[in-house]
């Protein structure tokens, strides 16, 4: 059971997934900081400026419209960077690998090699007679 688990972990998919999660978390923090430092002030300026920009107060309940706009912008930036930095290169690499595999003929099995040798020997004996 432990051997099967070790094979599962070492197969590469789990390790790749763990690395992707760590990179994704770090990247998410980076984009959130960028949004808070640059995008939030710009959204607040567009929505009227000041600390209360993009906020509606109804019966002492605050509806923070700018928070949603900032979250949407963060989401779009994150998706765009992940797509162009990871998905596009990975798809290109996979297509290249598939074309290389399609161009290479499969290597004959041991049985096929032995049958070819036998065929060639028989053909050589038949010509010699």
Domain ranges of the chain: 2-128
Residue 11 has a pLDDT of 66
The SS3 of residue 121 is helix
Residue 123 has a pLDDT of 87
pTM value > 0.95? no
pLDDT < 70 stretches in the chain: 8-15, 49-54, 128-129
Residue 66 has a pLDDT of 77
The secondary element (H helix, E strand) that includes residue 90 is: helix 88-103
Nearest 10 degrees: Cα torsion 28, 37, 52, 43: -80
Residue 57 has a pLDDT of 77
Which tokens hold the place of 53?
């920009």
Residue 52 has a pLDDT of 67
Fold of the 2-128 domain: 1.10.1200
Query: Within the chain, what is the greatest distance between any pair of CA atoms?
Result: 108
Calpha distance 121→99 (Å, rounded): 36
Residue 6 has a pLDDT of 72
């Amino acid at each position: 059971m432990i051997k099967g688990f070790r094979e599962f972990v070492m197969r590469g998919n789990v390790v790749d997934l763990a690395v992707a999660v760590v990179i994704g978390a770090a990247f998410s923090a980076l984009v959130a900081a960028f949004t808070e430092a640059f995008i939030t002030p710009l959204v607040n300026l567009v929505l009227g400026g000041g600390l209360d920009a993009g906020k509606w107060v109804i019966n002492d309940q605050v509806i923070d419209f700018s928070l949603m706009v900032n979250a949407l912008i963060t989401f779009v930036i994150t998706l765009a960077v992940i797509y162009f930095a990871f998905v596009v290169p990975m798809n290109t690499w996979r297509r290249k690998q598939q074309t290389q595999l399609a161009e290479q003929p499969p290597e004959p099995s041991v049985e096929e090699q032995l049958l070819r040798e036998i065929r060639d020997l028989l053909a050589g004996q038949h010509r010699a007679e």
